[in-house]
Chains A and B, each alone.
Chain A
Amino acid sequence: QVQLVESGGGVVQPGRSLRLSCAGSGFIFSNYVMHWVRQAPGRGLEWVGIISYDGENKYYTDSVKGRFTISRDNSKNTLYLQMNTLRPEDSAVFYCARSVCSAGYCYSFDHLGQGTLVTVSS
C-alpha cells in the first residue's frame, strides 16, 4: 500500500536550519509530483510547495520563498525540504503528499504522510 513517511523534525533555534525527508513506498515515486503541507499547532492546513517529477520545477508559497527548498532523489524514493533561517512561526507539523499532473494541470493530493513536528524555539 501507499506509504509516505516523514522524518527529520525536532526542536531548532530561530535562524537555524533543518532538513526534512519523506520516504515513499508502495508506488512508483517518480510518477508523482510531490508536495509539502504544514499545520501550525491548533491551526489550519497550509500548502508549502510542490516539486515536479524530475525536480526541475518548483513552486512555493510566499512565506517560505528564499528560505525553503524542495528537492527529490527518485533513485532513493525520497523527497526533501531544506528549511533555512527558521522562524518561530514556522513551527508546525509538516506533511508530504503526492499528486499527479498532466499537460500542465495538477490534481489534488490523494495521500499524505503522518507528518513530522518542527518546533522553532530558543
Chain B
Amino acid sequence: DIQMTQSPSSLSASVRDRVTITCRASQGIRNDLAWYQQKPGKAPKRLIYDASTLQSGVPSRFSGSGSGTEFTLTISSLQPEDFATYYCLQHSSYPWTFGQGTKVEIK
C-alpha cells in the first residue's frame, strides 16, 4: 500500500497568512493526487485534482503543486472561511489512501 505522510498535522495561522501543507508518498504516484477541505460535521470538498488543477468554483488563493512523491497545497492569503482540516488523497493504486490530515486553526 502507498503511505501518504502529511505535514504538519496542525498549524495556527492568522488571516492573510500564507499557508503550505505537504504530502509525501511512499512511492511515486505521478500526479494522481487530490486535496480536500473538510469543515466540522460536513463532507469533504475537493479543492485540487491531478495535483495542481483547481476545482471549479474554488477560490484562486488555493493552489497545488508537485509530482512523483512530494506535493504541496498552498493557501496564498488565508481567509476566515479557510479554517478547516485538509487531506490529500492518492488515487494512483489500490487501496486509495489519504494523508492523516492538517487542521488549520486561528492564531
Contacts and interface: CB of A to CB of B under 8 A. Distances in A.
A26 B99 CA distance: 30
B43 A114 contact: yes
- If over half of B's interface residues share one DSSP class (helix, strand or loop), that class is named, otherwise mixed; here it is loop
A89 interface: no
B45 to A, nearest CB: 8
Nearest to A47: B96
A45 to B, nearest CB: 5
- If over half of A's interface residues share one DSSP class (helix, strand or loop), that class is named, otherwise mixed; here it is strand
A60 to B, nearest CB: 7
B20 to A, nearest CB: 19
A109 interface: yes
B49 A107 contact: yes
B34 interface: yes
B95 A109 contact: no
Contact of A47 (B42, B49, B98, B100): B98
Contact of B98 (A44, A106, A111): A44
Contact of A44 (B45, B49, B100): B100
